[in-house]
Structure 1
Amino acid sequence: MKIICVHQSADMYGSDRSFLQVIKYFNQSGDFEKITVILPRSGPLVAELEKLGVDIIYMNLSLLSKTYLMKLQWGKIIFPLFSFNSKRKLYNQYDVVYVNTSVILDFYLLAPFLKQMKVIHIREIPNKFLSKVLSFLLKCAGSKIIFNSNSTLNSFKKLDRSFVVHNAFEGFSKEFTTAIEERPDGLLHVLLIGRINGWKGQDFAIEALTKIRSSRVLLRIVGSTSLGNEGLVDELKKKVEKLGLTAQVEFLDFVSDTAGIYAWSDVVIVPSTKPEPFGRIAIEAMSLYRPVIAANHGGLPEIVENAVSGFLFEPNNMDSFVAALTNYIDDRKLLQQHGLNAKRVFDEKFSLNGFYQKIDSVFKSEMV
Structure 2
Amino acid sequence: MKIFFLDQSGKPGGAELCLIDIAKPYGDRALVGLFADGAFKELLQQNHIPVEVLATQAIQVHKEGTLVQGLKSVGQLAPLITKVIKKAREYDLIYANTQKALVVGALASFFSHRPLVYHLHDILSKEHFSQTNLRIAINLANRCASLVIANSQASKTAFIQAGGRSDIVEVVYNGFNPKIYQTDESDINQLQQKLGLQGKFVVGHFSRLAPWKGQHILIDALAKCPPEVTVMLVGDALFGEQDYVKQLHQQVADLGLENRVQFLGFRSDIPQLMAACDLVAHTSTSPEPFGRVIVEAMLCGKPIVAAKAGGVMELVEHGLNGFLVTPGEPQELAQVIITCLQETEITATIANNARTTASGRFDIATINQQIAQLLSDKF
Task: Provide the C-alpha distance between the structure 1 equivalents of 2:294 and 2:181, rounded to a whole number of angstroms.
Answer: 17
| Structure 2 residue corresponding to 1:48, chosen from 32, 43, 59 | 43
Instruction: Give 1:100's aligned amino acid.
Output: N
Deviation at 1:211, TM superposition (A): 2.5
Q: 1:166 aligns with which of 170, 173, 183?
A: 173
**CA-to-aligned-CA distance 1:156-203 (integer Å, 9 cap, x gap):** 12422211000121132533489x99x995432100011111211111
Tell me the distance in 2 between the aligned counterparts of 1:161 and 1:99.
Answer: 15
Give the CA deviation at 1:74.
6.0
Asked whether the 8 Å contact 2:3–2:91 carries over to 1, the reply is yes
1:207 aligned residue (217, 220, 224): 220
Matched, 1:119 2:131: no
In structure 2, the residue matched to 1:80 is 76
**In structure 1, C-alpha distance between the alignment counterparts of 2:40 and 2:150, rounded to whole Å:** 22
Alignment of 1:211-290 (within 5 A): 211-212=224-225, 214-290=226-302
Shift in Å at residue 117 of structure 1? 2.7
Distance 2:176 2:84 in 1: 32
- Cα distance in 1 between the residues matched to 2:316 and 2:113: 40
Aligned equivalents of 1:177, 1:252: Cα separation in 2: 21
Distance in 2, Cα, partners of 1:64 & 1:316: 29
2:97 maps to 100
Q: CA deviation at 1:64?
A: 4.2
Contact 2:207 2:234 in 1 (8 A): yes
The offset of 1:291, in angstroms, is 1.4
Q: Is the 8 A contact 2:148 2:168 kept in 1?
A: yes
Residue 93 of structure 1: how far off its partner (Å): 2.7
Contact 1:131-1:155 at 8 Å conserved across structures = no
Within a 5 Å distance, the mapping from 1:304-343 to structure 2 comes to 304-343=316-355
- SS of the residue 1:37 aligns to: strand
Contact persistence 2:109–2:115 (CA under 8 A):
no
**Is 1:191 aligned to residue 204 of structure 2?**
yes
Matched, 1:143 2:146: yes
The number of residues matched between the two structures is 358
CA–CA distance in 2 between the matches of 1:73 and 1:220? 38
Percent identity over the alignment? 27
Where in structure 2 are there 5+ consecutive unaligned residues? none
RMSD: 2.7
2:364 matched to 1:352? yes
Deviations 1:187-227 (A, max 9, x none): 32100011111211111111222223x35211110101115
C-alpha displacement at 1:115, in angstroms?
Answer: 2.5
C-alpha displacement of 1:55: 3.2
Describe the SS at the equivalent of 1:140. Answer: helix
The unaligned stretches of length 5 or more in structure 1 are 28-32
Higher-helix-fraction structure = 2
TM-score by length of structure 1 reads: 0.88
Normalised to the residue count of structure 2, the TM-score between the two structures is 0.86
Question: Structure 1: how far apart are the matches of 2:203 and 2:253?
Answer: 19
